[in-house]
């Protein structure tokens, strides 16, 4: 059982331009006149997928806040979002109320596993420093997501099945009926979405 974060913050922007380009091709739309509107629906569909699966499509800075040091009985923490590109820092407020950065030599990371893991190092010199009694004294910050919204990543980082589910849902949100063809109705949109959620969902 992993300790539950007191709060999770995500700092992120809209999907990258290359994902929008592919979505416009999916919608058979040329020109840039509808880019703002289409980005809004694409963004909403991506967020819905993230909420339903705990996986982030668009890269975000994630901050997990804890009331205590969050290690389990084997001194490991499983992070709440995936995939994880890097762990930026582990910070805490000491007993004097000053924020400190826990030295990275005190922990190891496994970013390949899902969920990604942080483990207290076997030779850690400071296992769990004394915390101030304020709310959420421990903050773990990391970068998570498939596509870098700054433009360094590409839509190719998102597999075809995931993109299709996002595009289908975004198109439906943009205007119910736009995706309708023979045999392709609201129920088909929902089935496509449910199949992707079931494929990607993982439990903590």
Q: For the chain, give the percent of residues with pLDDT over 90.
A: 27
Structure tokens at 137: 């004294």
| 3-state SS, residue 141 | strand
Asked whether residue 81 falls in the same domain as residue 110, the answer is: yes
Tell me, what's the pLDDT at 3?
Answer: 58
Q: Domain check: are 176 and 154 in the same one?
A: yes
Q: For residues 136-155, give the mean pLDDT.
A: 77
Q: Is residue 106 part of a domain?
A: yes
Residue where a domain stops, chosen among 144, 161, 177: 144
3-state secondary structure 54-104: CECCECEEEEEEECCCCCCCCCEEECCCECEEEEEEEEEEECCCCEEECCH
Number of domains within the chain:
2
Residue 177 falls within a domain, yes or no?
yes
Domain final position from 144, 166, 184:
144
Does 4 reside within a domain? Answer: no
Of 5-19, 25-39, 138-152, the poorest mean pLDDT is in 5-19
pTM (2 d.p.):
0.78
Q: Examine residue 68 and state whether it is found in any structural domain, yes or no.
A: yes
pLDDT greater at residue 197 or residue 98: 98
In this predicted model, what pLDDT tens digit does every residue of 38-82 receive, in sequence order? Answer: 888 888 888 888 888 888 887 889 999 999 999 988 899 999 998
The verdict on residue 46 lying in a domain is yes
Range with the lowest mean pLDDT among 27-31, 158-162, 175-179, 196-200? 175-179
Tens-place pLDDT, residues 153-174: 566 778 888 888 888 888 888 8
Give me the domain span that covers residue 167.
14-55+150-200
Q: Is the pLDDT of residue 150 over 70?
A: no
Same domain, 137 and 162: no
């Amino acid at each position: 059982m992993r300790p539950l974060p007191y709060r999770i913050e995500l700092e992120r922007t809209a999907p990258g331009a290359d994902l929008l380009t592919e979505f416009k091709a999916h919608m058979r739309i040329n020109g840039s006149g509808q880019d703002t509107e289409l980005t809004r629906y694409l963004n909403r569909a991506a967020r819905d997928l993230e909420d339903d699966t705990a996986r982030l499509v668009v890269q975000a800075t994630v901050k997990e806040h804890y009331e205590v040091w969050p290690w389990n009985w084997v001194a490991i923490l499983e992070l709440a979002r995936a995939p994880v590109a890097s762990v930026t820092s582990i910070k805490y407020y000491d007993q004097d109320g000053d924020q400190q950065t826990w030295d990275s030599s005190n922990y190891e990371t496994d970013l390949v596993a899902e969920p990604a893991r942080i483990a207290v190092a076997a030779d850690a010199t400071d296992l769990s420093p004394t915390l101030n009694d304020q709310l959420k004294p421990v903050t773990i910050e990391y970068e998570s997501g498939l596509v870098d919204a700054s433009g360094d990543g590409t839509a190719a980082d998102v597999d075809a099945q995931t993109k299709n589910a996002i595009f289908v849902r975004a198109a439906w949100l943009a205007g119910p009926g736009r995706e309708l063809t023979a045999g392709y109705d609201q129920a088909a949109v929902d089935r496509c979405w449910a199949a992707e959620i079931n494929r990607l969902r993982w439990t903590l």
